[in-house]
């Protein structure tokens, strides 16, 4: 049984308890909040009268409220309206058609006023066009819910900027929009107070509630609900923001929730697992929809007024470098009188209004000590430079987002065919299973010039374009409807062309212009309406994803998320599973995001269109590799393997034939390798083996991922440093001891000797002939070995150390690494040399078996003493040298 | 000599190509070399790749092991006519146990004496001498109330002579795993086969403790919002310790010589921290990976965030109005009205109330304390305030009651309810108070009325899985559950700063 959480009687008891003791916490009574306004709804804001456009109290005049006059009593509303891109909507930046830098030739600005968005489709036609889609007044009416007033709306329809929308609790945007769409512009702003108890709708108009006002004509304190914009205020136009303790539920798929619809972003402090959504694997999503909302931040904490003296940033362009903080700023009173309504903003791809304010907002790293919290991440800076914070901290979107919009066809309801990503089922209700989606990672260019991969949704749209005398235009919805419908039903020609299953009716699956025939039928209909050259066009818009940040434990932190074949960076995103064929969509509206990549038709029926972004300038270990390097390297290794196998096989065969036939002569024990030489050799052996193996793990985690990518990186780096140290020490040893000579080929007669040695390996070895050059302590290497080791130790090893160091130091001394070609060059080069090493090791190990017994040389390198066959060419120098006992 | 011989030229001896004789012979040399070489690589790798050792031992690694108890089937053949006979049998092998039990408050029903400022003599608190705002008084109502005492052989009145006799210790109530229940005067219920019960003994289960502590106040979930029968077989969402990890009460309330760790503030004035069970007994003090959360630990008790609501499964009683008892307001219904007890309000998923709490009481109503009947009387009041550095914000259940008081003497009355002449039989308040005067010596003027009383119950069980813990905005928002100003802050400390 479930009873009311907090019975009413508790209110009284709590009050009594307060009187008794100051430390009693009053139980919160939710029910109490929902009813009549609290005693002091807005404690800081003074009471005020509502004034009409003439400056008269509306109680006297009965006229609509003028926000500019009412709020203008104390605040400089002219200044506010003139400093607000929310009011301006790009109007002041708009240029005549054809002159704007916006992405489509018929656009006039990048703001809501004068731009064209295929999602909303309707078009504010330039005056003088022969076919007008929206007149300015119609534009205001159609966009009523998204226009705050002022700017073009005031110029067109006299709509003042509506302060109430953003600064009062629960304004009625719906009532206001309803008034606007019916053309009642004068009362629209007053209508936004409906429901507050201040004004009510009568049969014929609006009436003010005298009880809401004092005798002096000011609002009663209980009705003064003025505050900083809350998330709910912003959410009216921008997307879903949920703050109540009730479980969040939304089916999404609503363009009125713009940001949620286009990206799936939801701003709520609630844990996803505790929301009421039908989400796949919901129980595991035990973190907030938006970490910042959970931590009590609100929209305006980041998107603050740019002259807010509390939040205004120092270190702006106008500030000398030598100044860290400039205390000269507005006094509070000055700010409250003239608060700029230009707000700090990021750099979303779509709306480029007020471009001078782009990235005026604080970035992640302006508030967060990212180096501190990411110390666990190897190559922290390198990762931070290449990967935007959002990439790892917004790993997944858990709401439907629009995927594609096909305006080349119309549904029976005269709507486009819309696809949504991140959701299974198409009922559009809560019962659809939300599967969420992984954003695509595009390379974003930041205002500071740096670039990093950041998450985006891609929205693809197709539509008809025709040539108006004044230039190309999108086909008006009105014309499109005329092309498809007659008398409210599909035209017979349309049904004939599109009715794939021949049942005489069109279902959504059939609404697709996937053949030239179907396209030409619709084009014919449009032409018949008098449209010149109707043609299909397609575009892709990237929508940046910056909200819905999660904390570390829910963020991406596994190396293999990117360092593997299935790397998130460069991973493809489905653009659409439908749409017309024969017209590839092109990217638009993405000034800050690189959109290079590959658009591909999927194999399955050819209907799925995907986009795989290019990863420019990045080399992801474990994901990227240069095919020819690996091919060549593998070939070299296999070639050597085949070579030594053939050679070894022949030796075995020969040896079997010539059983017990050993070279004549005797065996001499020589102390060949000093302790240090042996240590150096074996240290190098183990180090190279370990490096080769861990290097392979890093190179191909898809094959060897079970070893552990992160651990391999750490071991690889440490052993690499050890190897370099070992090499340096041995160089010193060999130089000082003079042993270096053994590695230096003597120019005189070198080639002759090399030929002799080659001949021995090819022929003499099989005949059990003695080695042509005796191995002595001073001259351990034959000419072939000399040239090989010279190459290995003086060319390959230094190269490998150098490229390795440049890669290791990619964030410590990035200039050097960049100068050397950066990771995209260094890493494949390093791989190539590694392959050479691998090939050499095989050859080297094989050649050690060519001593007088197969293990003799290895034994010598282990114990120092070598058994050297004595033959006629012995120089005998070794005999006279004093020699230490084994194990010295 | 040896060296020269070895380095000399000697005739080639044919030997097997892969004999490795040299390797075998020089094994000490190269093995040493091998070890040194590998160590030269491995040691730096280990040193430089090692991560800082996690100082916190996971509490999951030190979970108690529950051993199977020795079967007493053959040790306790029976038959036993009385509980005392069972106890005698127990004591033959466990001779000290009864004495141990008799030193605990489970037996004495009385705390140690506390010296309280403003009271002339040291006071003790317990069911033996004080009242609450549920069934009011155990003393005088021994017939029923002692079904939750660990002893047999009670009688009405204040003599309590039974407490002197070791044989009266009821071993079974805590140790019998089946077939046992208590009836009147602390004795086994009628019809119990004591041999069956005695043969089932083992270490106390949750149900042993729950028999009294789940039913505190006279029924399931009446007294405690955080203890009820849902803990018999709890799911993780009810209590992560007892559900997911199957902890028993005694795993935290560890026992030595039958003295059990963990004190109830309702029956004590001051509880020394070492007497109390603390989260940090198992969990690291700064357990959160999120530094922001750890900054809360000075002011917020673990329970505050980790027990977001009480009575998640079974309802708990929030309000008890004795004044409507006997009026036959409606048909008896367990959760709303009983003729013998009056009107109730129960609630589930109750959001606790939050107070500064330092683990002690600021006040405990003692029998005879005068009250102001126009205002709620605090039966107890947790101690702590914003300026008390040892206090933290802590969740409480507040049980509100309307209970009888003497309008002449202005103190709370303790009616006799149980027994043949008790209120539950006669429905005569006057008689119930006169009986109490007789049995307990609480003078009754003949005039009574009802007054409101509050009793605070700390919420510390039913810790929920971490994903259900409170989040920032549960407190730091317009809808937040904490009343900052009532707690003594100028406003939300997120904006105004902490204490």
ipTM: 0.80
| Residue A659 pLDDT class (50, 70, 90 cuts) | low
Tokens 């002799």 identify what position? A756
Least confident range from A89-98, A482-491, A826-835, B319-328: namely: A89-98
Answer whether B422's CB lies under 8 Å from B435's CB: yes
For chain A, say whether B477 makes contact (Cβ under 8 Å). Answer: yes
* A362 Cβ contact partners less than 8 Å away, ≥ 6 residues apart: A302, A313, A344
Q: Worst-scoring range by mean pLDDT, A577-581, A591-595, A877-881, B170-174?
A: A877-881
A315 is written with which tokens? 């270190």
Residue B14 has pLDDT above 60, yes or no: no
- Give me A102's structure tokens: 């916006």
Q: Partners of B404 in the beta sheet?
A: B450
Residues constituting chain B:
499
| Average pLDDT of the residues in A432-452 | 89
Across chain B, mean pLDDT equals 90
pLDDT at position A326 over 90: no
Among candidates A107, A73, A117, which has minimal Cα distance to A226?
A73
Taking the mean position of all CA atoms in its chain, how far away is CA B487? 26
Residues of A in Cβ contact (< 8 Å) with B481 = 28
What is the model's pLDDT at position A62?
A: 93
Which pLDDT score is estimated for B4?
39
Q: Tokens 């949750």, residue?
A: B206
Tell me how far apart the alpha carbons of residues B452 and B430 are, in angstroms, rounded to a whole number: 19
Which range has the top average pLDDT, A739-743, B82-86, B416-420? B82-86
Q: Give mean pLDDT, residues A704-722.
A: 89
Residue with more model confidence, A767 or A582: A582
**8 A C-beta contact, residue B190 and residue B121:** no
Average pLDDT of the residues in A606-633: 88
Residue environment code for A654-686, b if the CB has 16+ CB neighbours within 10 A, otherwise e: eeeeeeeeeeebbbbbbbbbbeebbbbbbbbeb
Phi-psi region of B446 (alpha: psi -120 to 50; beta: other; left: phi over 0): left
Q: What is the helix (H) or strand (E) element at residue B391, kind and residue range?
A: none
pLDDT in tens, A586-616: 888 666 777 888 888 876 556 789 999 988 7
**Token reading at A69:** 């006059």
Alpha-carbon gap: A658 to the closest alpha carbon of chain B (Å): 14
- In whole angstroms, give the CA distance from residue A748 to residue B33: 38
- Tell me which of A653 and A45 has the higher pLDDT: A45
* Rounded distance between C-alpha atoms, residue B416 and residue B138, angstroms: 9
Q: What token pair was written down for B127? A: 């069911």
Q: Rounded to whole angstroms, what are the CA distances from B489 to A373, B356, B497, B499?
A: 31, 12, 9, 7
The minimal CB distance from A20 to the residues B12, B349, B375 is found for B375
Residues 383-402 of chain B with CB under 8 A from chain A are 384-386, 400
**Contact residues for B61 (Cβ-Cβ < 8 A; gap 6+):** none
Task: Count the alpha carbons within 13 Å of A812 in the hemisphere toward its beta carbon.
Answer: 6
A876 phi-psi bin (left φ>0, alpha ψ -120 to 50, beta other): left
User: Could you say which of A243, A286, A859 has the minimum Cβ distance to residue B467?
Assistant: A286
Cα Rg, chain A, nearest whole Å = 39
| CB contact at 8 A, B277 and B260 | no
Task: Please name every residue paired with B182 in a beta bridge, in sequence order, or none if there are none.
Answer: B188
Task: State mean pLDDT over A709-730.
Answer: 90
pLDDT at residue A510 tops 70: yes
Calculate mean pLDDT across residues A876-888: 39
- Tell me if chain A has a CB within 8 Å of the CB of B114: no
Inter-chain CB proximity B375 and A293 less than 8 Å: no
Q: Do A417 and A582 contact (CB within 8 A), yes or no? A: no
Section A11-20 average pLDDT? 44
Residue A749 backbone zone (phi > 0: left; psi -120 to 50: alpha; other: beta): left
* Dmax (CA) of chain B: 130
B positions 22-51 inside 8 Å of A (CB): 22-23, 26, 28-30, 33-34, 36-38, 40-41, 44-45, 48-49
Identify which of B346, B381, B471 has the shortest CB distance to residue A269: B471
Alpha carbon of B452: minimum distance to chain A alpha carbons (Å): 9
CA distance B200 to B180: 10
Chain A, residues 222-261, CB within 8 A of chain B, namely 243-245
B488 vs B499: CA distance, rounded Å: 9
- The yes-or-no verdict on residue A15 having pLDDT over 70 is no
E strand or H helix at B351: none
Q: How far, in Å, are A289, A355, A397, A432 from residue A279 at the CA level?
A: 13, 37, 11, 9
Task: Say if CB B124 and CB B113 are below 8 A apart.
Answer: yes
Closest CA–CA distance from residue B260 to any residue of chain A (Å): 31
Which residues in B lie closer than 8 A to residue A4 (C-beta atoms)?
Answer: 347
pLDDT given for residue A871 in this prediction: 57
Say if the Cβ atoms of A885 and B3 lie within 8 Å.
Answer: yes
The Cα of A12 is separated from the nearest Cα of chain B by a number of Å equal to: 11
Across the range B62-78, mean pLDDT stands at 91
DSSP states along A662-690: PPSSEEEEEE-S-HHHHHHHHHHHHHHHH
pLDDT tens for A346-381 read: 876 555 666 677 667 888 888 898 888 898 888 888
Which residues make Cβ contacts (< 8 Å) with residue A628, sequence separation at least 6? none
Structure token digits, residue A50: 């509502």
Choose among B14, B467, B488: nearest Cβ to A662. Answer: B14
Would you say A506 and A499 are in contact if contact means Cβ atoms under 8 Å apart? yes
Is beta strand A573-576 parallel, antiparallel or unpaired with respect to A609-613? antiparallel
* Banded pLDDT at A617 (limits 50, 70, 90): confident
Residue A888 pLDDT > 60, yes or no? no
In whole angstroms, how far apart are CA A181 and each of A89, A140, A146, A175, A760? 19, 8, 12, 10, 98
Q: At what angle do helices A822-847 and A783-791 cross, to 10 degrees?
A: 160
Split at pLDDT 50, 70, 90, the class of A778 is: low
Distances (CA, A) of A486 to A69, A412, A482, B65, B343: 50, 11, 7, 80, 71
Tell me how far apart the alpha carbons of residues A883 and A888 are, in angstroms, rounded to a whole number.
10
Residue A876: burial class (beta carbons within 10 Å; 0-12, 13-18, 19+): exposed
Q: Is the pLDDT of residue B19 over 80?
A: no
Contacts of A385 (CB under 8 A, 6+ apart): A450, A452, A811
Considering only CB atoms, A863 lies closest to which of B7, B29, B400, namely B29
- Name A868's bridge partners: A668
Cα–Cα distance measured from residue B260 to residue B277, given in angstroms and rounded to the nearest whole number: 10
Round to whole Å and give the CA distance between A379 and A827: 15
Contact A28 B356 (CB under 8 A): no
Contact A827, A817 (CB under 8 A): no
Q: What is the maximum span of chain A, computed from C-alpha positions, in angstroms? A: 130
- The SS3 assignment for B315 reads coil
Lowest-confidence segment of A22-36, A87-101, A602-616, A816-830 by average pLDDT = A22-36
Indicate the SS3 state at residue B104: coil
Measured CA to CA, the distance from residue B378 to residue B110 in angstroms comes to 20
- Domains (ranges, CATH) in chain A? 1-35 (no CATH), 46-98+134-227 (no CATH), 382-613 (no CATH), 627-634+665-876 (1.20.950.20)
- Does the pLDDT of residue B16 top 70, yes or no? no
Most confident of A504-518, B203-217, B287-301: B203-217
Mean pLDDT taken over chain A: 85
Summarize the confidence of residues B191-210 as an average pLDDT: 95
- What are B218-258's pLDDT values in tens digits? 999 999 999 999 999 999 999 999 999 999 999 999 999 99
Query: Rounded CA gap, B105 and B267, in Å?
Result: 10
- In degrees, rounded to 5, the angle at the alpha carbon of residue A888 between the alpha carbons of residues A882 and B3 is 50
Q: What does the alpha-carbon distance between residue A611 and residue A575 come to, in Å, rounded to a whole number?
A: 6
Q: Give the gap in angstroms from C-alpha A661 to the nearest C-alpha of chain B.
A: 10
Taking residues A706-726, what's their average pLDDT? 90
Place of tokens 């050690």: A848
What pairing do the DSSP bridges indicate for beta strands A451-468 and A440-445? antiparallel
Average pLDDT over residues A639-645: 93
Q: Flag whether residue A877 sits within 8 Å of chain B, measured between CB atoms.
A: no
């Amino acid at each position: 049984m479930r009873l009311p959480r907090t019975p009413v009687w508790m209110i009284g008891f709590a009050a009594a308890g307060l009187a008794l003791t100051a430390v009693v916490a009053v139980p919160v009574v939710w029910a109490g909040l929902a009813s009549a306004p609290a005693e002091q709804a807005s404690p800081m804001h003074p009471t005020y009268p509502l004034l009409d456009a003439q400056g008269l109290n509306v109680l006297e005049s009965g006229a609509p409220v003028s926000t500019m006059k009412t709020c203008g009593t104390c605040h400089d509303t002219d200044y506010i309206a003139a400093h607000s891109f929310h009011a301006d909507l790009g109007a002041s930046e708009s240029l005549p058609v054809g002159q704007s830098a916006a992405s489509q030739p018929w656009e006039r600005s990048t703001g809501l006023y004068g731009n064209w968005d295929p999602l909303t489709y309707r078009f504010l036609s330039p005056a003088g066009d022969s076919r007008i889609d929206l007149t300015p007044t119609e534009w205001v009416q159609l966009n009523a819910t998204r226009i705050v007033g002022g700017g073009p709306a005031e110029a067109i329809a006299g709509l003042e900027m509506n302060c109430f929308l953003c600064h009062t609790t629960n304004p009625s945007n719906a009532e206001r929009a309803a008034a606007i769409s019916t053309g009642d512009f004068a009362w629209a702003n007053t209508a936004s107070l409906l429901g507050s108890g201040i004004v009510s709708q009568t049969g014929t108009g609006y009436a003010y509630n005298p009880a809401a006002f004092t005798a002096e004509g000011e609002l009663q304190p209980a009705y003064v609900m003025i505050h900083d914009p809350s998330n709910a205020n912003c959410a009216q136009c921008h997307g879903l923001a949920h703050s109540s303790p009730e479980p969040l539920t939304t089916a999404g798929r609503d363009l009125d929730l713009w940001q949620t619809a286009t990206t799936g972003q939801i701003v709520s402090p609630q844990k996803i697992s505790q929301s009421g959504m039908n989400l796949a694997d919901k129980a595991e999503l035990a973190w907030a929809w938006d970490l910042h909302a959970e931590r009590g931040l609100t929209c305006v904490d980041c998107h603050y007024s740019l002259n807010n003296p509390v939040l205004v940033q120092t270190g702006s362009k106008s500030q000398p470098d030598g100044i860290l903080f400039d205390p000269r700023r507005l006094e509070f009173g000055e700010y409250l009188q003239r608060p700029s309504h230009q707000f700090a903003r990021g750099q979303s791809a779509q709306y480029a209004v007020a471009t001078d304010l782009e990235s005026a907002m604080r970035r992640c790293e302006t508030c967060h000590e990212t180096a501190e919290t990411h110390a666990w991440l190897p190559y922290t800076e390198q990762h931070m430079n290449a990967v935007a914070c959002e990439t790892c901290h917004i790993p997944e979107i858990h709401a439907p987002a629009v995927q594609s919009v096909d305006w080349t066809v119309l549904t029976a309801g005269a709507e486009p065919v819309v696809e949504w990503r991140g959701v299974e089922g198409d009922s559009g209700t809560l019962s659809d299973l939300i599967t969420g989606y992984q954003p695509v990672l595009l390379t974003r260019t930041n205002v500071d010039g740096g670039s990093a991969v950041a998450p985006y949704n891609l929205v693809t749209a197709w539509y008809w374009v025709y040539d108006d005398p004044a230039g190309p235009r999108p086909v008006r919805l009105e014309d499109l409807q005329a092309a498809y419908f007659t008398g409210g039903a599909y035209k017979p020609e349309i049904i004939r062309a599109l009715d794939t299953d021949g049942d005489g009716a069109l279902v959504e699956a059939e609404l697709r212009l996937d053949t030239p025939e179907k396209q030409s039928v619709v084009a014919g209909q449009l032409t018949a309406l008098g449209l010149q050259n109707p043609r299909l066009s397609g575009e892709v818009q990237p929508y940046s994803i910056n909200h819905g940040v999660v904390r570390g434990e829910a963020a991406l932190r596994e190396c293999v998320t990117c360092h593997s074949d299935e790397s998130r960076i460069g991973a493809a995103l489905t653009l659409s599973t439908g749409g017309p064929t024969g017209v590839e969509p092109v990217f638009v509206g993405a000034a800050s995001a690189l959109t290079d990549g590959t658009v591909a038709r999927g194999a399955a029926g050819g209907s799925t269109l995907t986009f795989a972004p290019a990863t420019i300038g990045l080399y992801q270990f474990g994901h990227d590799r240069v095919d020819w390097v690996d091919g060549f390297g593998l070939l070299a290794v296999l070639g050597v393997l085949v070579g030594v196998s053939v050679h070894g096989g022949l030796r075995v065969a020969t040896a079997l034939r010539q059983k017990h036939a050993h070279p004549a002569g005797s065996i001499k024990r020589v102390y060949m390798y000093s302790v240090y030489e042996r240590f150096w050799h074996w240290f190098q052996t183990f180090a190279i083996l370990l490096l080769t193996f861990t290097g392979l793990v890093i190179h191909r985690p898809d094959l060897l991922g079970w070893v552990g990518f992160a651990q391999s990186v750490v071991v690889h780096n440490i052993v690499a440093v050890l190897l370099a140290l070992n090499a340096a020490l041995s160089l010193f040893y060999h130089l000082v001891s003079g042993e270096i000579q053994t590695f230096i080929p003597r120019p005189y007669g070198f080639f002759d000797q090399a030929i002799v040695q080659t001949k021995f390996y090819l022929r003499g070895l099989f005949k059990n002939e003695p080695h042509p050059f005796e191995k002595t302590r001073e001259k351990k290497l034959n000419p072939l070995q000399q040239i090989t080791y010279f190459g290995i130790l003086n060319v390959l090893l230094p190269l490998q150390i150098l490229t390795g160091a440049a890669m290791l130091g990619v964030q410590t001394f990035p200039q050097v690494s960049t100068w050397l070609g950066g990771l995209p060059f260094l890493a494949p080069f390093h791989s190539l040399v590694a392959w050479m090493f691998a090939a050499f090791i095989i050859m080297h190990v094989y050649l050690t078996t060519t001593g007088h017994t197969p293990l003799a040389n290895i034994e010598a390198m282990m114990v120092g003493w070598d058994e050297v066959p004595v033959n006629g060419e012995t120089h005998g120098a070794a005999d006279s040298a004093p020699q230490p006992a084994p194990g010295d | 000599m040896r060296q020269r011989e070895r380095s000399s030229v000697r005739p080639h001896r044919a030997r097997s190509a892969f004999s490795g004789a040299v390797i075998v012979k020089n094994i000490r040399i190269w093995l040493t070399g091998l070890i040194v070489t590998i160590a030269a690589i491995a040691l730096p790798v280990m040193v430089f790749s090692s991560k800082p050792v996690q100082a916190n031992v996971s509490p999951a690694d030190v979970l108690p092991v529950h051993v199977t108890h020795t079967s007493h089937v053959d040790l306790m053949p029976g038959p036993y006519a009385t509980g005392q006979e069972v106890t005698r049998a127990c004591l033959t092998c466990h001779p000290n146990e009864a004495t141990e039990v008799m030193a605990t408050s489970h037996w004495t029903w009385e705390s140690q004496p506390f010296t309280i400022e403003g009271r002339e003599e040291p006071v003790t608190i317990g069911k033996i001498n004080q009242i609450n705002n549920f069934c009011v008084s155990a003393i005088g109502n021994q017939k029923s109330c002692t079904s939750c005492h660990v002893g047999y052989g009670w009688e009405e009145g204040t003599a309590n002579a039974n407490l002197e006799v070791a044989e009266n210790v009821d071993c079974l109530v805590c140790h019998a795993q089946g077939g046992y229940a208590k009836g009147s005067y602390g004795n086994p219920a009628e019809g119990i086969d004591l041999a069956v019960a005695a043969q089932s003994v083992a270490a106390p289960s949750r149900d042993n403790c729950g028999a009294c502590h789940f039913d505190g106040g006279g029924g399931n979930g009446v007294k405690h919002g955080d203890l009820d029968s849902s803990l018999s077989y709890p799911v993780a969402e009810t209590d992560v310790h007892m559900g997911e990890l199957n902890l028993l009460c005694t795993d935290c309330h560890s026992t030595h010589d039958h003295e059990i760790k963990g004190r109830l503030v309702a029956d004590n004035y001051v509880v020394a921290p070492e007497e109390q069970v603390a989260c940090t007994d198992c969990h690291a003090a700064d357990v959160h990976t999120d530094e922001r959360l750890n900054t809360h630990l000075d002011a917020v008790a673990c329970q505050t965030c980790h027990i977001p609501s009480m009575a998640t499964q079974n309802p708990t009683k929030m309000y008890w109005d004795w004044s409507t008892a006997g009026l036959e307001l409606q048909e008896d219904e367990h959760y709303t009205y009983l003729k013998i007890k009056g009107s109730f309000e129960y609630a589930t998923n109750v959001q606790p109330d939050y107070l500064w709490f330092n683990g002690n009481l600021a006040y405990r109503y003692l029998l005879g304390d005068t009250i102001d009947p126009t205002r709620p009387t605090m039966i107890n009041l947790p101690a702590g305030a914003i300026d008390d550095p040892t206090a933290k914000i802590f969740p409480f259940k507040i049980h509100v009651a309307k209970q009888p008081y003497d309008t002449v003497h202005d103190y709370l009355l303790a009616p006799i309810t149980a027994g043949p002449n008790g209120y539950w039989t006669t429905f005569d308040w006057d008689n119930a108070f006169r009986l109490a005067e007789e049995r307990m010596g609480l003078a009754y003027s003949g005039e009574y009325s009802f007054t409101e009383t509050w009793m605070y119950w700390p919420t510390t069980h039913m810790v929920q899985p971490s994903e259900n813990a409170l989040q920032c905005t549960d407190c730091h928002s317009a809808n937040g559950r904490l009343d900052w100003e009532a707690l003594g802050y100028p406003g939300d400390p997120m904006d105004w700063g902490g204490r």
